[in-house]
Amino acid sequence: MKTKVVKVDNSMDNLEEYQQAVDMLKSGEVVAFPTETVYGLGAVATDEQAVAKIYEAKGRPSDNPLIVHIGTKEEVEKYALHISELAEKLMEAFWPGPLTLIFDQIPNQIAKNATPDVQTVGLRMPDHPVALKLLQILKLPLAAPSANRSGKPSPTEAAHVEKDLQGRIPLVLDGGQTGVGLESTVIDMTVTPPAILRPGGITKEMIEAIIGPVEAAHETETKEAPRSPGMKYAHYAPEAPVYLIEANQEKLEQALLAYEIKGQKVAVIGPDELETTQANWYFSIGASGNIEQMATNLYKALRQCDGTAADLILAVETTYEGVGEAFMNRLAKAANGRRYTN
């Protein structure tokens, strides 16, 4: 299969390209498309055979449920049982946007393999012109995980999708670089208080300002069985091992010197302010005071490390405030718990 990449400039009318994508989806194919968070790999969520192709293309464990994307708020009622007042408030405040709400699922609406082993469904209305236009022409829900090979960082550019899924999927809609750069916040609305299962661009503080106290992601994650099945798998990992390191110029330069003496080559992912020629490669991802910008650029930098001959990667820690919680959550997973110690 040859993978076709089609530019869909947001300012142009690409009706033909959209129609081609819609035709493919309706005939049971998968199509990659941009959202405001990361690129998704979509299949019609009611089509079991199409959904099976998502797992196959990604190499994704088949016990990990998919988020179902919808093009209008009203569609929630087709798939979700018991839409609480709190859920209504969150949808009103943050949709379209990077927030996935977990509801009890109305049976027999969504293909079984889209939500394996659970009686719930995660729904999200994305805030990206291409995703919304696609959904609104299609008029069907799209099951869509991030469009990377399982275990790799999520794609924030069409080129990342192409790199991972070349020859495995027929079409990528290229809408340029995504904005948020980290996957959506996932919140379980079936429990009291609601529980954040995965931190993202919509922060705990933003949610609590609308509906009051919720359980934080780090609280839900430490429990024995992860409630968000995806959280138990290795994630976001470049080829070389990642080590977290404190945001301190002196510590960083000492570490780089120590590795140089050992003859090891190091790539650094960090803020503009700490950029140093002592690193063999330094990927600057933004001003340290601008965590949103750093989030936008994180996955691209993790992927750029794969293009180097680095023996290891040092990733500079950031604040845990606001989007910093999601940023550090992904970085900690990429590092698999490793931290630089001298």
Cα gap 272→77, rounded to integer Å? 46
Query: Residue 272 class from Cβ within 10 Å (0-12 exposed, 13-18 middle, 19+ buried)?
Result: middle
The residue range among 161-169, 178-186, 253-261, 291-299 that interacts with ligand TXA, by the rule CB under 6 A, is 178-186
Question: Is 203 a binder of Mg ion (CB under 5 A)?
Answer: no
Query: Residue 304 class from Cβ within 10 Å (0-12 exposed, 13-18 middle, 19+ buried)?
Result: middle
> What is the per-residue binding string for ligand TXA in 201-240, x denoting contact by CB under 6 A?
--------------------------xxxxx---------
Question: Is 109 a binder of ligand TXA (CB under 6 A)?
Answer: no
Q: Which letter, b or e, does each residue of 202-212 get, where b requires 16 or more Cβ atoms within 10 Å of its Cβ?
A: bbbebbeeebe
Question: Is 122 a binder of ligand TXA (CB under 6 A)?
Answer: yes
The residue range among 30-38, 133-141, 324-332, 334-342 that interacts with ligand TXA, by the rule CB under 6 A, is 30-38
Among 47, 164, 183, 325, binds ligand TXA (CB under 6 A): 183
Question: Is 129 a binder of ligand TXA (CB under 6 A)?
Answer: no
Among 100, 113, 115, 146, binds Mg ion (CB under 5 A): 146
Q: Of the two residues 233 and 243, which places its CB atom closer to Mg ion in the complex? A: 233
- The number of beta carbons lying within 10 Å of the beta carbon of residue 319 is 15
Minimum gap (Å) between residue 150 Cβ and ligand TXA = 9
Residue count of the chain: 342
Q: Of the two residues 120 and 280, which places its CB atom closer to ligand TXA in the complex? A: 120
Question: Is 97 a binder of ligand TXA (CB under 6 A)?
Answer: no
Cα gap 193→216, rounded to integer Å? 10
Q: Of the two residues 96 and 270, which places its CB atom closer to ligand TXA in the complex? A: 96
Q: N- to C-terminal Cα distance for the chain?
A: 49
- The residue among 162, 41, 65 whose CA lies nearest residue 123 is 65
Q: Of the two residues 173 and 256, which places its CB atom closer to ligand TXA in the complex? A: 173
Q: Torsion-angle region of residue 188: left (phi > 0), alpha (psi -120 to 50) or beta?
A: beta
In terms of DSSP H, where are the helices of the chain? 15-26, 48-58, 76-79, 85-94, 129-138, 158-165, 204-211, 217-221, 249-261, 291-305, 324-335
Task: Give the residue carrying structure tokens 């940023």.
Answer: 327
Minimum gap (Å) between residue 118 Cβ and ligand TXA = 5
Among 25, 32, 65, 328, binds ligand TXA (CB under 6 A): 65
Binding stretches for Mg ion (CB under 5 A) = 146
Point out which residues bind ligand TXA (CB under 6 A): 35, 37-38, 40, 64-67, 98, 100, 102, 115, 118, 120-122, 124, 126, 144-146, 183-184, 186, 197-198, 227-231
